[in-house]
Amino acid sequence: DTGVSQNPRHKITKRGQNVTFRCDPISEHNRLYWYRQTLGQGPEFLTYFQNEAQLEKSRLLSDRFSAERPKGSFSTLEIQRTEQGDSAMYLCASTFETSFAYEQYFGPGTRLTVT
Amino acid sequence: QQPVQSPQAVILREGEDAVINCSSSKALYSVHWYRQKHGEAPIFLMILLKGGEQKGHDKISASFNEKKQQSSLYLTASQLSYSGTYFCGTHLRRGSQGNLIFGKGTKLSVKP
């Protein structure tokens, strides 16, 4: 397995446009996370899935953001009516959850620039 | 709830040692350490669970003091490849739904 992949790697869009990002986790991983990272900050949690169920959403995730993981495999994150404040790196991570703490494997990220 | 990391940045010469601290105002169940190089994904280093254990591999080790709600990452005999930004991520409780709360990072630069 080649790890977590994300597409596209870079996206430039105009304010007000919709964008969609895709994340393909490591194949046997049942948990998938979305984070947002801005310059000089650590990753900020947005939402996560266990299989196809979206179990938690951060208060950071406004109504303009929606995420899906339809078959418990890949996931998409859509941002509607983008704003300049949405410019950031969007990171996806996956893990196989066990009873104890577990490492998250991050993808390379999608860098979004809203002009 | 965001953990506080210190120092914010450190510059080392190859072979020198460094300590990076991660402190929380909340009781912690686990602390995760990641390293991120510019333009790349964070890479997992290690997890420390409640219980005060210490872990390490190669010349990087970490400790977790649950009473102080603090973890420290120790880098000994630093190598050029250690350069990057180190993040701690915290879980507040066992079985928490999984999202990590990350600190702002400590930028480590190792010079030859």
Per-residue model confidence as pLDDT tens digits over A40-54: 899 999 999 989 999
Residues contacting A100, CB < 8 A, separation 6+:
B49, B94
Is A74 part of the contact surface with chain B (CB cutoff 8 Å)?
Answer: no
Indicate left, alpha or beta for A76 from its phi (over 0: left) and psi (-120 to 50: alpha): beta
- Note the pLDDT of residue B52: 59
Structural contact between residues A37 and A43, judged by C-beta atoms closer than 8 angstroms: yes
Minimum distance, in Å, between the CA of residue A74 and any CA atom of chain B = 18
The pair of structure tokens assigned to B69 is 């709600």
Q: Tell me the one-letter amino acid at A103.
A: E
As a whole number of angstroms, the distance between CA B85 and CA A39 comes to: 12
Instruction: Give residue for tokens 């000994």.
Output: B76
The model's confidence at residue B68, banded by pLDDT at 50, 70 and 90, is confident
How does DSSP assign A44-94, residue by residue?
A: EEEEEEETTEEEEE-TT--TTEEEE-TTSS-EEEEESS--GGG-EEEEEEE
Are A38 and A85 in contact by the 8 Å Cβ rule? The answer is no
Predicted local distance difference test score (pLDDT) of residue B98 = 62
Predicted local distance difference test score (pLDDT) of residue B28? 82
Contact B77, B17 (CB under 8 A): yes
Please tell me the least confidently modeled range out of A45-49, B25-29, B36-40, B68-72: B25-29
- Mutation pick from B36, B100, B106, B107 vs chain A, by most beta carbons of A within 10 Å, is B100
Phi, psi of B81 (to 5 degrees): -70, -10
Find the closest chain A residue to B4 by CA distance.
Answer: A42
The DSSP string of B61-108 is: EEEEETTTTEEEEEE-S--GGG-EEEEEEEESSTT--S--EE---EEE
Q: What are phi and psi of A86, to 5 degrees?
A: -80, -10
How far off is chain B from A18, nearest CA to CA, in Å? 24
Between CA B47 and CA B30 the distance in angstroms is 7
| B78-94 pLDDT, tens digit each | 999 999 999 999 887 65
pLDDT digits (tens, 9 = 90+) for A16-43: 999 999 999 998 898 999 999 999 899 9
* Distance, first Cα to last Cα, chain A: 36
Please give the share of chain B, as a percent, with pLDDT higher than 90: 58
Q: Taking 70 as the threshold, does the pLDDT of residue B48 lie above it?
A: yes
Mean pLDDT of all residues belonging to chain B: 88
> Residue B42: its chain A contacts at CB < 8 A?
43, 91, 106
The tokens for A35 are: 């984070």
pLDDT of residue B8: 96
Confidence of residue A1 (pLDDT cuts 50, 70, 90): low
- pLDDT tens digits for A80-105? 999 999 999 999 999 887 655 678 89
Task: Tell me the nearest-neighbour CA distance from B17 into chain A, angstroms.
Answer: 23
Please give the pLDDT value at position B93.
66
Q: Quickly state the pLDDT bin for B10 (edges 50, 70, 90).
A: very high
